[in-house]
Structures are given as C-alpha cells and as structure tokens.
Amino acid sequence: MKTLKEIKVGQSAIIKKIHGDGALKRRIMDMGITKGVEVYVRKVAPLGDPVEITVRGYELSIRKADAELIEVE
C-alpha cells in the first residue's frame, strides 16, 4: 500500500482509497480528494508538513497525518 505522503514532489498519483473514521474521511472527501481523482504533489514544506497538492485544478495543503490516510496508485 502506497500513501499520498510517500509521493515525491513533481509526481502524480491516482486516489485509490481513503482510510480513517467518518468525520475525517468526510472532510478529506469534501476537499475534492475522492477515489479515481488524480493528484499532483507540488511541494512539501521544509519540515515535511504540510504537503501542497493540486487536485481538480486547484491547490490544496494537507497535513502529513491526513496524507498518510490516502491510499494511491
């Protein structure tokens, strides 16, 4: 299993599954991160948190802890 956290800067990945409980999963999905969507990792902050991604044509910053819950391929 590969997570969004493991994707390197400049690479893209397809969302496969979102782990986590109801409210957290819902919040991630409300940001547009859903199964089958392509995400592009733009940059990672110097200390590794947050991760800046492009999803559905807009830029988004997510915490490393949240990125670990997003399974990609």
Q: How many domains does the chain fold into?
A: 1
Separation between Cα atoms, residue 54 and residue 60, nearest integer Å = 6
The CATH number for 51's domain is 2.30.30.90
pLDDT of residue 49: 87
pLDDT band at 9 (very low <50, low <70, confident <90, very high): very high
Structure tokens at 48: 């590794």
Which regions of the chain does DSSP assign to beta strands (E)?
A: 2-3, 12-18, 38-44, 51-55, 58-62, 70-72
* Residue type, position 56, single letter: R
Residue-wise pLDDT for 11-53, tens only, equals 999 999 999 889 999 999 999 999 999 999 999 988 878 999 9
pLDDT of residue 1: 85
- Residue 57: give the domain boundaries: 2-72
